[in-house]
Amino acid sequence: MILWRQSVDPVAFGRDIVTSLAARMRSTTPGLKPENIQAALKDASGNLESTCRHEIDIPTGLAVKVDCRTSNSVTVQVETRGSTDTWTITQTLPEPR
């Protein structure tokens, strides 16, 4: 079994969220002042993490089953929204010769 995990740097991810949300707010609310956008997003944060568990057939090196989970969340002004995706991938080993 191989366990693979990936997560983002929360500080860098937070900066990306603020940049993305600020651009969206500017385009959807043209009258909003930049300082008001910065104030609204000053405590924005987020998280992104992926984990996969691989079951490997040693003689062939093939992954016979992979279970993965990816979750993300964004918090702006104490409101958190997010999602989680899970999936399973299976592979049938070749017939013996």
71-95 per-position pLDDT tens digit: 999 888 889 999 999 999 999 998 8
At residue 27, does pLDDT exceed 90?
A: no
pLDDT at 10: 80
Q: What is the pLDDT of residues 36-75, one digit of tens each?
A: 777 878 888 888 999 999 999 999 999 999 999 999 998 8
Which residue in 49, 87, 83, 92 sits closest to 68, CA to CA? 87
| pLDDT recorded at residue 19 | 83
**Residue ranges of the domains in the chain?**
2-90
Long-range pairs, 26-35, Cβ under 8 A, ≥24: none
pTM: 0.69
